[in-house]
Amino acid sequence: MTDDQFRHRHPIRVRFHHVDRMNVVHNLAYFYFFEEARVEYIRAIGIPVDEETFVTHDRFFIVRNACDYFAPAVFDEELTILTRIVQVRNSSIAFEHVARKADGTAAARAEHVFVHVDEKSNRPARVPEALRERIQEYEGTNVLFAEG
């Protein structure tokens, strides 16, 4: 994985409530950083984001969260969250994030898998074609489309 595979970049400044007693970003705070970046990614690919997004349309459940930590980030440090979709399957979408420090060091790397569900039954449903097309347009050849 190289940074040039990530088209989407979202800046974050570490705030006081993100750090623990040792003045390093608490491990849980990275999940909030990644979630914020994912929402901005969705905007960037052209999906309107409002109070109904992810509730009554484009509904997804998270089924996997994994994060590796490499270098501590501290209060008032600027991070750039790199975001990309690496794979779209029948009903799931896999994201990858890297939290990059200003000097280029990776602070953390994460993988998240979301399953698209029918808004009435909450059962897995095929990722809509319109969303697949937007992802393909944005990511180009950096995303794998696979069925199953």
Q: Which of 11-20, 44-53, 126-135 has the lowest mean pLDDT?
A: 44-53
CATH code of the domain in which 124 resides: 3.10.129.10
The number of folded domains in the chain is 1
pLDDT tens for 65-117 read 999 999 999 999 999 999 999 999 999 999 999 999 999 999 999 999 999 99
Parallel, antiparallel or unpaired: strands 60-69 and 8-13 = unpaired
pLDDT of residue 119: 84
Domain carrying residue 32? 3-145
For residue 53, the model assigns a pLDDT of 76
